[in-house]
Amino acid sequence: MATVNFIPCKKQNAFSMRNEIEYILQDFKVCIRLISGKDCCPETAFQEFMATKNSFKKADQTMFYHYDQAFKDGETISPKTAHEIAVKFAEDNYPDYEVVIATHVDNEHLHSHFIINSVSFETG
């Protein structure tokens, strides 16, 4: 069973948001390219997040939220299944938000990261 954890990010600005997105998308962490975007393209997520913020004039507040979903060491689950669970979690819990999802396989335990735009593309 996976647990979902909030990862606090004290610096909330465009630079830190770009860094967090780039961190979760590092090739050596997601060596089998388990990357998805919910309502965004992972490669252009930063620009898309900023466009949403700018359209609602909210580019100077909280920029993003960072969560991870981790499985226990030794839990028998494939990276593909872990990623599918993460995508479903994002779809169910953040219906009107852009989310970048990356499943990391560089540790003993599988875990997926979520970078969530703090501004809804539907309601602002």
Mean pLDDT of 41-68: 96
Alpha-carbon distance of 64 to 14, in angstroms, equals: 9
pLDDT band at 1 (very low <50, low <70, confident <90, very high): confident
Contacts of 6 (CB under 8 A, 6+ apart): 65, 66, 67
66 phi and psi angles, rounded to 5 deg: -125, 125
Mean pLDDT of 84-108: 95
Residue-averaged pLDDT of the chain: 93
pLDDT band at 56 (very low <50, low <70, confident <90, very high): very high
